[in-house]
Amino acid sequence: MNPTDPCPCGSGHEFGACCGPYLDGSIEPPTALALMRSRYTANTLGREDYLQATWHPETRPAQPGVAPAVRWSGLRVLETRAGNPEDTTGMVEFIALYRVGSRPYRLHEISQFSRAGGRWYYRSGTAGAANKPPRQGG
């Protein structure tokens, strides 16, 4: 990916001035949101190594599981809590859009992050409301 291309995370910035430096290891994402965006971008680029490296060792699976059939097509951040450089935990709620074949899907997730040794890590995610089946009745 060219550094002047628009960043896949949808920030509106160029890749080389957004997630690029995080993915190439030249700087650490300063906030949970920056880490979350860079992990989305890593997904779009199939960077399993980055997903693995930024997953907290306590919750990291053996295989991060980048699904090759999935084509990520957009990211919308709904809410963030804490996750700033002076915090030790953070939360980001987002909707990621993707396609499998020609079929569009959306992933609504509330992700938890924690900071250790000056680095932000992804810890865990729970499904947001948009993933749950509609409520029965009124």
Tell me: does residue 9 bind Zn ion (CB under 5 A).
yes
Choices 13-21, 46-54, 71-79, 104-112; region in contact with Zn ion by CB under 5 A:
13-21
Q: Count of residues binding Zn ion (CB under 5 A)?
A: 6
The residue whose two tokens read 């989305």 is 40
Q: Do strands 89-100 and 70-82 pair parallel, antiparallel, or not at all (unpaired)?
A: antiparallel
Whichever of 44 and 114 has its CB closer to Zn ion, that residue is 44
Whichever of 18 and 51 has its CB closer to Zn ion, that residue is 18
Alpha carbon distances (Å) from 47 to 43, 58, 67, 111, 138: 6, 20, 11, 19, 44
Whichever of 21 and 125 has its CB closer to Zn ion, that residue is 21
Tell me: does residue 35 bind Zn ion (CB under 5 A).
no
Cβ-based neighbours of 45, under 8 Å, separated by 6 or more: 1, 8, 23
Between the two ends of the chain, the Cα-to-Cα distance in Å is 48
Tell me: does residue 31 bind Zn ion (CB under 5 A).
no
Q: What are the residues binding Zn ion (CB under 5 A)?
A: 7, 9, 11, 18-19, 37
